[in-house]
């Protein structure tokens, strides 16, 4: 009988330490791999291992800082390692104490919103932090616009407008991406830990992910605040995080429907990979279509806090099958 990944990873101290270190070393250079070290920390928190999760945190943090300190400086390197590892470590400890994935999801969302509040309270000019980055991106965006002209697209990007609109919500985007990275780490860590006997409270994890009505009501308050206090960017950034929260819940509804249709294992992974590629192509060719898909996921995730959408989809799929 073949061993699971969790059993293979934790059968020796040296193997565990090497895997954690290698995962952290590849994080800054491999696209879409930022979640891997955090997932390993969640795994170490949930299953018996010769390496305590705190040791894994320190080792992975040292690797990330060591690889990035020369490029960005000591404090940004330390901040990067903290953002990529500490939330996952805390989520792992929370799960190890008996918390459900849903509660961990809700706590991560609250933490992302809390980070935004702290940033806007502490920094006198939050948007000004991104000004140097914006100036560096302007030449690159200008070259992209020139390439589109040369390719005969007939469409010229409004450089200034795009940059201004993007950086106006930079902190909200950062908070959402950190939340997304934390949740991907948690979900994979829980999935791997199942291979060594861990069962999350409530059984399922991603297929039943829910933000809950409290966060849903809070999002409505945020919408009202964004309309009433349009001069402040904080409500708009917080609303971006809420959209990300409900998009994840919408994806969990889709995941639940795919499971009901019989997808699992490799077929489920291939389905997600194909869907992601199609979505990227649609975003490049037909931006309005990608926005429509995202909006549908957000609205579905929001409504699911009151109406059992995933149960209805399971019933519908069961009748068709």
Segment 211-244, tens digit of pLDDT:
999 999 999 999 999 999 887 889 999 999 999 9
Please give the mean pLDDT across all residues of the chain.
Answer: 84
Q: Which two tokens stand for residue 48?
A: 């018996």
With pLDDT > 90 as the criterion, what percentage of the chain qualifies?
Answer: 49
pLDDT of residue 159: 47
pLDDT of residue 205: 79
Say yes or no to pLDDT of 1 above 80.
no
Query: Regarding predicted confidence, which is higher, 238 or 316?
Result: 238
Measured distance CA(46)–CA(88) in Å, rounded: 12
Of these ranges, 101-105, 120-124, 267-271, the one predicted with the greatest mean pLDDT is: 101-105
CA distances from 14 to 17, 25, 52, 88, 158 (A): 5, 16, 13, 22, 53
The confidence band for 152, taking pLDDT boundaries of 50, 70 and 90, is very low
pLDDT of residue 214: 95
Helices (H), the chain: 5-9, 13-26, 36-46, 53-72, 74-96, 101-122, 131-150, 159-168, 170-194, 213-228, 234-260, 265-285, 287-303, 309-320
Q: What is the pTM assigned to this prediction?
A: 0.87
pLDDT of residue 140: 66
pLDDT of residue 144: 58
pLDDT of residue 22: 93
The confidence band for 153, taking pLDDT boundaries of 50, 70 and 90, is very low
Query: Regarding predicted confidence, which is higher, 289 or 8?
Result: 8
162-173 pLDDT, tens digit each: 556 666 778 999
pLDDT of residue 138: 67
Say yes or no to pLDDT of 195 above 70.
yes
Mean pLDDT of 171-177: 92
Say yes or no to pLDDT of 150 above 60.
no
pLDDT of residue 263: 74
With pLDDT > 70 as the criterion, what percentage of the chain qualifies?
Answer: 84
Mean pLDDT check: name the lowest of 57-66, 107-116, 281-290.
281-290
Mean pLDDT check: name the lowest of 132-146, 205-219, 233-247, 266-280.
132-146
pLDDT of residue 177: 93
Mean pLDDT check: name the lowest of 14-23, 43-52, 192-201.
192-201
Mean pLDDT of 172-190: 94
CA distances from 238 to 48, 59, 120, 304 (A): 38, 33, 11, 20
Mean pLDDT of 87-93: 96
Measured distance CA(231)–CA(216) in Å, rounded: 24
Nearest to 119 by CA among 172, 75, 167, 179: 172
**Which position has the token pair 């040791």?**
55
pLDDT of residue 163: 57
């Amino acid at each position: 009988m073949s061993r699971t990944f969790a059993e293979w990873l934790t059968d020796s101290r040296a193997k565990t330490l090497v895997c954690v270190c290698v995962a952290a070393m590849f994080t800054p250079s491999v696209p879409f791999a930022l979640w891997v070290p955090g997932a390993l920390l969640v795994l170490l928190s949930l299953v018996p291992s010769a390496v305590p999760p705190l040791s894994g945190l320190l080792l992975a943090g040292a690797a990330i800082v060591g690889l990035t300190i020369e490029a960005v400086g000591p404090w940004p390197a330390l901040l990067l390692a903290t953002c990529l590892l500490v939330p996952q470590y805390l989520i792992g400890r929370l799960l190890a104490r008996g918390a459900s994935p849903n509660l961990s999801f809700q706590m991560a969302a609250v933490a992302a919103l809390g980070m935004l509040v702290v940033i806007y309270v502490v920094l006198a000019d939050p948007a000004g932090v991104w000004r140097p980055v914006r100036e560096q991106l302007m030449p690159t965006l200008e070259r992209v616009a020139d390439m589109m002209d040369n390719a005969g697209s007939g469409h010229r990007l409004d450089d200034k407008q795009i940059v201004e609109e993007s950086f106006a919500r930079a902190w909200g985007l950062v908070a959402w991406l950190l939340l997304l990275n934390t949740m991907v780490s948690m979900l994979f860590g829980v999935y791997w830990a199942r291979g060594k006997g861990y069962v999350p409270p409530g059984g399922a994890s991603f297929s039943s992910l829910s933000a809950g009505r409290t966060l849903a009501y809070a999002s409505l308050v945020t919408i009202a605040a964004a309309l009433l206090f349009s001069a402040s960017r904080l409500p708009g950034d917080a609303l971006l995080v809420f959209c990300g929260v409900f998009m994840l819940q919408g994806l969990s509804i889709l995941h639940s429907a795919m499971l009901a249709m019989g997808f699992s294992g490799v077929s489920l992974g291939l389905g997600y990979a194909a869907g992601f590629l199609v979505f990227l192509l649609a975003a490049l060719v037909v931006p309005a279509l990608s926005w429509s898909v995202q909006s549908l996921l957000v609205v579905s995730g929001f409504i699911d806090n009151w109406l059992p959408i995933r149960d209805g989809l399971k019933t519908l799929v069961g009748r068709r099958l």
